[in-house]
Amino acid sequence: MVKVHGGRLRGGRHRFGIVISKFNHEVTSKLLEGALTSLRKHGVKEEDIEIAEVPGAFEIPLTAKRLAQSHAFHAVICLGAVIRGETAHFEYISQAVSQGLQRVMLETGIPISFGVLTTETEKQALQRADPKRFDRGGDAAKTALEMVELLQELK
């Protein structure tokens, strides 16, 4: 019989750090709302959640690394929004953030959940962030929950 490992959506006594970009606040505040609702729904207590606010998406990887290296958190949830504009800035920031977060996860062994939206328009970002529609913040929290459980199972 093949043994299958998989994470569950259980908060337990796990601690979560959240890094959130203040830039595009209308979008990121909805991502945060969804993430917090999801964490609470799955049993994570308020005292087991800490939030670090950063100026923009570019600063998310460094802050996520600091939280991961602290060993105070079982996972770090990263929330931000990069919306395409008229210059190449979108590509540089999107790529830097995604590659930076992947490096943090691989270097620290701490799950880093990618809740950074990369959209063509603000309307798309608002739809994806809305907890009543796509709820990408809630999805990022669920990913963190599942990864914590999976990695504990694989020890």
Q: Where are the domains of the chain?
A: 16-149
Single-letter amino acid, residue 31: L
Q: Whose structure tokens read 């799955």?
A: 42
Q: Please give the pLDDT value at position 13.
A: 86
Tens of pLDDT, residues 81-139: 999 988 888 899 999 999 999 999 999 999 999 999 999 999 999 999 999 999 999 99
pLDDT at 120: 95
Residue with tokens 């006594």: 13
CA-nearest of 79, 76, 42 to 57 is 79
| pLDDT number for residue 1 | 87
pLDDT for 141 beyond 80: yes
Residue 140 CA to residue 85 CA, distance in Å, equals: 25
Question: Which one from 5, 42, 71, 89 is the annotated catalytic residue?
Answer: 89
Per-residue model confidence (pLDDT) at position 58: 97
pLDDT in tens, 3-59: 888 777 777 789 999 999 999 999 999 999 999 999 999 999 999 999 999 999 999
The whole-model pTM stands at 0.95
- Alpha-carbon distance of 41 to 44, in angstroms, equals 7
User: CATH classification of 16-149, choosing from 3.40.720.10, 3.40.190.10, 3.40.50.960, 3.10.520.10?
Assistant: 3.40.50.960
Catalytic (active site) residue 74: no
